[in-house]
């Protein structure tokens, strides 16, 4: 076995490889770009080498810098992870030239599968079933168009060099073909530097089912069952599971035989995945699946296979790369139970899944156990930058059957908390709870079909959320009052805890929040052991404790609720039952203090963009009323009236960009 392994990757997969290597007593070397200097994979490794600036082209994709890092660190093996250079045969050769072992297949096998057209030619010869289509050398657009007609619509145009769902277009009729071909070619040229296209029949009600294969250098080839990755968005996997629901033993055996034949046909070594597209209506028939492509690396979703087989696939990769034989024969590989994986992304489902960047101000995952596994490359406080994939973590759940595994997944997602940027967490939770998903109605169009259920309209804060928000504010005031009285060292201070509320008048405390653009006013009264607050016309009793980490143990009308409160400036996020709700606190006292210091002028506290102007020139406003909403650093900030008065000038409109210190609005006394 190797004594030093360099991991030519970052993020969760680098962390995951380091963990297996450490368990095997192998020293690990991380590589990192500028943006990753403080990242988790660097902290986990035994040593780390800086390989360049943040853009991947100049660091994680730079073969020369990586081989230099191999030489400098004395690594005798290199794990490429997935993505980046993991399927780059030149890199595999460069690693060997630098005197280390590439943990992956021989360069020729990578090359053979790198081109989808070439791969299909090889598979055809090996007797592996292909999707009807054309994957030859004639790239004349007129010829391709005629071919599409003879295959029959719908068809899929694919980039031969493609990956990650790019360079792909579905075409439903002959008149759309030319334009789609042009678009796919353009995308492929810019993403892969090649625009060779192939055409496939678009399989109806498609399911993506893939086989995990493994081969060693002694001629042994096995498979470790299948994964269903049909839940996709734009041809990219979002949820994966193993085994594939509805697959029977004869289909599994046929698929396993096709996948191992594919691996043998190219002299494969190491971990690989043979992807099949399956006709949804014929999932139980041994001739209902077709070869799509082979990925010559460890796959993102490999943990579901590990959960059902108990095999550490990275350990096997290292053993095979070190020349050892596969630890198990085919009949010794057994699958138990069911595993599901979801990909947690920094993205905003409500805005067409736009990737988000920002800081993970608060991050909690359920504890790892025999049932739950979290693979992540970030910690609380880390940033999701614009340079790399916005995946935050993979949440994997295992149990004895599919329904139990899905229940575990739902509980795990409910215990996951991310504050600081938008994520697809609620979307994933909605998918894991969707009746069609529970009924295993899996198809690659699932997300598109059920989008309205999975990305519901933003809901107003529930009464429970408002109760929790009110309670957390009240507890913060209490803590502050206690601190102030302790600091003043005066046992008779009017700010002494308990008296504080009376000082605010009539024992009633007004709390104001902005919920989206709706203002919510709550009145709370201290009572013997907590507060009463009026919510939707009903008196609700609230009490509890809040610690410094934001853990709120609340009792709402006698029911205990554990929640988390994360604040940042005026923003308060209430996290309970796996749902985040963001409110903005409007604090009349703070607003008044800030306003006085500014003397009637309201200025931008930081550079940003005006989202809303809620008042007009000459309008009478009350202290604490929200005047302007400013979006800065991916958060909304409320500019509130410092006192009662009249707006004498509004200087900006919604959509305007402002600099720090710009006067936003002037006010006169009424």
* Alpha-carbon distance values, 291 to 119, 231, 297, 375 (Å): 10, 18, 17, 29
Tell me how far apart the alpha carbons of residues 584 and 612 are, in angstroms, rounded to a whole number.
14
Chain-centre distance for alpha carbon 32? 21
Q: CB of residue 125 vs ligand ADP: minimum separation in angstroms?
A: 19
Contacted by 105, from ligand ADP, Mg ion, none: CB < 5 to 8 Å by type: none
DSSP assignment letter at 578: T
Cβ–Cβ under 8 Å, residues 643 and 665 = no
SS3 of residue 567 by DSSP: strand
Place of tokens 């994933």: 428
Tell me how far apart the alpha carbons of residues 625 and 665 are, in angstroms, rounded to a whole number.
14
* 165 binding ligand ADP? (CB under 6 A): yes
Per-position x/- string for 65-84, each x denoting binding to ligand ADP as judged by CB under 6 A, each - no binding: -----------------xx-
Stretch that binds ligand ADP, among 230-238, 331-339, 398-406, 534-542 (CB under 6 A): 230-238
* 275 binding ligand ADP? (CB under 6 A): yes
Per-position x/- string for 258-277, each x denoting binding to Mg ion as judged by CB under 5 A, each - no binding: -----------------x--
Residue 409's contacts (CB-CB under 8 Å, 6 or more residues apart) are: 340, 342, 395, 397, 432
* Alpha-carbon distance values, 119 to 161, 229, 275, 469 (Å): 11, 21, 12, 57
Count other C-beta atoms under 10 Å from residue 134's C-beta. Answer: 20
Q: CB of residue 64 vs ligand ADP: minimum separation in angstroms?
A: 20
Residue 458's contacts (CB-CB under 8 Å, 6 or more residues apart) are: 350, 516
Stretch that binds ligand ADP, among 34-42, 161-169, 561-569, 628-636 (CB under 6 A): 161-169
Contacted by 129, from Mg ion, ligand ADP, none: CB < 5 to 8 Å by type: none
Contacted by 507, from Mg ion, ligand ADP, none: CB < 5 to 8 Å by type: none
* 575 binding ligand ADP? (CB under 6 A): no
- What's the N-to-C CA distance of the chain in angstroms? 81
Q: CB of residue 82 vs ligand ADP: minimum separation in angstroms?
A: 5
Stretch that binds ligand ADP, among 98-106, 156-164, 250-258, 652-660 (CB under 6 A): 156-164
Q: CB of residue 364 vs ligand ADP: minimum separation in angstroms?
A: 21
Per-position x/- string for 11-50, each x denoting binding to ligand ADP as judged by CB under 6 A, each - no binding: x---------------------------------------
Q: CB of residue 94 vs ligand ADP: minimum separation in angstroms?
A: 19
* 237 binding ligand ADP? (CB under 6 A): yes
Cβ closer to ligand ADP: 82 or 153? 82
Structure tokens at 667: 């006010």
Q: CB of residue 293 vs Mg ion: minimum separation in angstroms?
A: 5
Q: CB of residue 95 vs ligand ADP: minimum separation in angstroms?
A: 18
Contacted by 408, from ligand ADP, Mg ion, none: CB < 5 to 8 Å by type: none
Tell me how far apart the alpha carbons of residues 113 and 639 are, in angstroms, rounded to a whole number.
58
Chain-centre distance for alpha carbon 450? 19
- 399: closest CA among 334, 304, 314? 304
Contacted by 345, from ligand ADP, Mg ion, none: CB < 5 to 8 Å by type: none
- 546: closest CA among 602, 478, 472, 620? 472
Q: Which of 4, 54, 232, 317 binds ligand ADP (CB under 6 A)?
A: 232
Q: Which of 224, 263, 277, 650 binds ligand ADP (CB under 6 A)?
A: 277
* 389 binding ligand ADP? (CB under 6 A): yes
Structure tokens at 103: 């943990």
* 156 binding ligand ADP? (CB under 6 A): yes
Q: CB of residue 355 vs ligand ADP: minimum separation in angstroms?
A: 12
Residues with a known catalytic role: 297
Q: Which long-range contacts (CB under 8 A, 24 or more apart) does 647-653 make?
A: 647/615, 647/616, 647/617, 647/618, 647/619, 647/621, 648/617, 648/618, 649/617, 650/613, 650/615, 650/616, 650/617, 652/610, 652/613, 652/628, 653/610, 653/613
Q: State residue 356 phi and psi, 5-degree precision.
A: -115, 145
Stretch that binds ligand ADP, among 72-80, 157-165, 345-353, 598-606 (CB under 6 A): 157-165
Contacted by 237, from Mg ion, ligand ADP, none: CB < 5 to 8 Å by type: ligand ADP
Q: List the Cα angle 54/89/315 in 5-degree steps.
A: 80
Per-position x/- string for 403-442, each x denoting binding to ligand ADP as judged by CB under 6 A, each - no binding: ----------------------------------------
Q: State residue 185 phi and psi, 5-degree precision.
A: -65, -45
By the criterion CB under 6 A, which residues form the site for ligand ADP?
A: 11, 82-83, 131, 156, 158, 162-165, 200, 202-203, 206, 208, 232, 235-237, 275, 277, 292-293, 295, 299-301, 389, 391, 444
By the criterion CB under 5 A, which residues form the site for Mg ion?
A: 275
């Amino acid at each position: 076995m190797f004594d030093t392994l360099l991991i030519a990757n970052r993020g969760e997969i680098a962390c995951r490889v380091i963990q297996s290597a450490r368990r095997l007593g192998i020293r690990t070397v991380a590589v990192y770009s500028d943006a990753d200097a403080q990242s988790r994979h660097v902290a986990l490794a035994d040593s780390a080498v800086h390989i360049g600036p943040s853009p991947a082209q100049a660091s994680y994709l730079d073969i020369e810098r990586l081989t230099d890092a191999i030489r400098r660190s004395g690594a005798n093996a290199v794990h490429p992870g997935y993505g980046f250079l993991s399927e780059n045969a030149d890199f595999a050769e460069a690693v060997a030239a630098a005197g280390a072992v590439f943990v992956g297949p021989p360069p020729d096998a990578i090359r053979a599968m790198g081109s989808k057209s070439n791969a299909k030619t090889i598979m055809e010869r090996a007797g592996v079933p292909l999707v009807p289509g054309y994957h030859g050398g004639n790239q004349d657009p007129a010829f391709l168009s005629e071919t599409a007609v003879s295959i029959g619509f719908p068809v899929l145009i694919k980039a031969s060099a493609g990956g990650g769902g790019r360079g792909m277009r579905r075409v439903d009729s002959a008149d759309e073909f030319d334009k789609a071909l042009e678009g796919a070619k353009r995308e492929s040229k810019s993403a892969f530097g090649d625009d060779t296209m192939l055409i496939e029949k678009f399989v109806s009600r498609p399911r993506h089912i893939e086989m995990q294969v493994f081969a060693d250098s002694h001629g042994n080839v096995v498979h470790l069952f299948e994964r269903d990755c049909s839940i996709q968005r734009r041809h990219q996997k979002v949820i994966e599971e193993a085994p594939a629901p509805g697959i029977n033993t004869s289909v599994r055996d046929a698929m396993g035989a096709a996948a191992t034949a594919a691996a043998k046909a190219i002299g494969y070594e190491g971990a690989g995945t043979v992807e099949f597209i399956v006709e949804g209506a014929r999932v139980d028939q041994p001739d209902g699946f077709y070869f799509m492509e082979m990925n010559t690396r460890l796959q993102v979703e490999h943990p579901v296979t590990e959960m059902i087989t108990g095999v550490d696939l990275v350990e096997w990769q290292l053993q095979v790369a070190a020349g050892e034989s596969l630890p198990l024969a085919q009949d010794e590989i057994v699958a138990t139970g069911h595993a599901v994986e979801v990909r947690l992304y920094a993205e905003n489902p409500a805005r067409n899944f736009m990737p988000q960047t920002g800081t993970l101000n608060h991050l909690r995952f359920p504890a790892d156990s025999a049932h739950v596994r979290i693979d992540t490359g970030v910690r609380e406080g880390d940033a999701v930058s614009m340079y790399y994939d916005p995946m935050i973590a993979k949440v994997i759940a295992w149990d004895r059957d599919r329904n139990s595994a899905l229940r575990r997944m739902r509980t795990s997602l409910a215990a996951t908390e991310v504050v600081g940027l938008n994520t697809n967490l609620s979307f994933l939770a909605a998918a894991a709870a969707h009746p069609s998903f529970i009924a295993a109605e899996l198809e690659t169009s699932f997300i598109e079909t059920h989008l309205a259920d999975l990305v519901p309209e933003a809901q107003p804060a529930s009464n429970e959320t408002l109760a929790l928000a009110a309670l957390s504010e009240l507890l913060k005031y209490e803590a502050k009052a206690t601190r102030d009285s302790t600091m003043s060292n005066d046992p008779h201070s009017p700010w002494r805890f308990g008296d504080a509320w009376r000082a605010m008048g009539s024992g009633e405390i007004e709390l104001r929040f902005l919920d989206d653009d709706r203002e919510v006013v709550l009145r709370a009264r201290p009572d013997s052991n907590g507060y009463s607050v009026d919510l939707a016309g009903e008196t609700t009793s609230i009490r509890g404790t809040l610690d410094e980490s934001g853990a709120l143990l609340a009792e709402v009308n006698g029911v205990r609720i554990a929640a988390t409160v994360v604040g940042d400036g005026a923003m308060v996020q209430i996290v309970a039952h796996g749902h985040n709700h963001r409110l903005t606190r409007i604090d009349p006292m703070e607003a008044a203090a800030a306003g006085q210091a500014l003397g009637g002028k309201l200025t931008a506290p930081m550079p940003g963009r005006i989202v809303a102007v809620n008042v007009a020139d000459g309008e009478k406003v009350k202290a604490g009323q929200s005047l302007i909403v400013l979006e800065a650093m991916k958060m909304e900030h409320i500019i509130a009236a410092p006192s009662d008065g009249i707006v004498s000038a509004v200087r900006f409109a919604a959509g305007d960009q402002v600099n720090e210190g710009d006067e936003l609005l002037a006010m006169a006394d009424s």
